[in-house]
Amino acid sequence: MVSLDEAVTARLKRGNKHFEVLVEPEGALAYKRGEDINLEDILAVETIFEDANRGDRAAESDIVNAFETTDPLKIAAVILKNGELQLTADQRKRMIEEKKRKVIYTISRNAINPQTKAPHPPARIERAMEEAKVHIDPLKSVDQLVNITMKAIRPLIPIRFEEISIAVKIPPEYAPKAYGEISRIGSITKEEWQRDGSWIAVVKIPAGVQTDFYALINHLTKGEAQTKLL
């Protein structure tokens, strides 16, 4: 159930009447973009309002005249697809900060400095965003914002998205556990189990997580694994 404190208003005008529903903002935006979203998961309450802030429900006769149904899910679908989201200043600020964190995380995880082959720390990406005056539109998707941000900061810092492949050899006593952990952080493109029980693999990972990858390998094997950047 969506918390009323986190809900925003989606509004549609039909004739001289306003119809509103309270929805979870990220899910509502995804629904508007055409993603497969269950409306029941993003509605705070299955009620059609005339003014959601005051808690005034729309008259049933007005609802029927405007939508030819009283089904709140069908009406909410129309309002979300054809209406607009009304964000308060606090909601907009909170969404901007959350989107900014997601953009920085996505870039720092997937991008590297092509000159050094090393990932950019999140703080460096954030400074470049500030210098480039990147505008975070809370109504855009994270993918859209990542593309916008990359174009803006490329003139300021050497950066590109890249995947890297790392060969690993895990000693037999650590191999079974390591296999599961490694498969969660990267894509195993080649693998071979040795007669002694050790495991050899080539793992493809986002370039920005290579430091985390090496740390994970060392933790899983107590520093006894062998690795090679391919």
pLDDT digits (tens, 9 = 90+) for 99-135: 999 999 999 988 989 888 888 999 999 999 999 999 9
Distance in angstroms (rounded) separating the CA atoms of residues 86 and 91 = 9
The dihedral built from the CA positions of residue 142, 148, 153 and 158, taken in this order, carries a sign that is positive
**Domains by residue range for the chain, with CATH:** 8-86 (3.30.1250.10), 89-160 (1.10.10.900), 162-229 (3.30.70.240)
pLDDT digits (tens, 9 = 90+) for 42-81: 999 999 999 998 889 999 999 999 999 999 999 999 999 9
pTM (2 decimals)?
0.66
pLDDT digits (tens, 9 = 90+) for 180-213: 888 888 889 999 999 999 999 999 998 888 888 8
Contact (CB, 8 A) for 195 and 148 = no
Distance in angstroms (rounded) separating the CA atoms of residues 154 and 110 = 14
For residue 229, what pLDDT is reported? Answer: 87
**99 alpha carbon, distance to own chain's centre:** 8
Q: Which residues pair with 198 in a beta bridge?
A: none
From 188, 98, 193, select the one nearest 136 (Cα to Cα): 98
- 12 pLDDT more than 90: yes
Considering the chain, what is the average pLDDT of its residues? 90
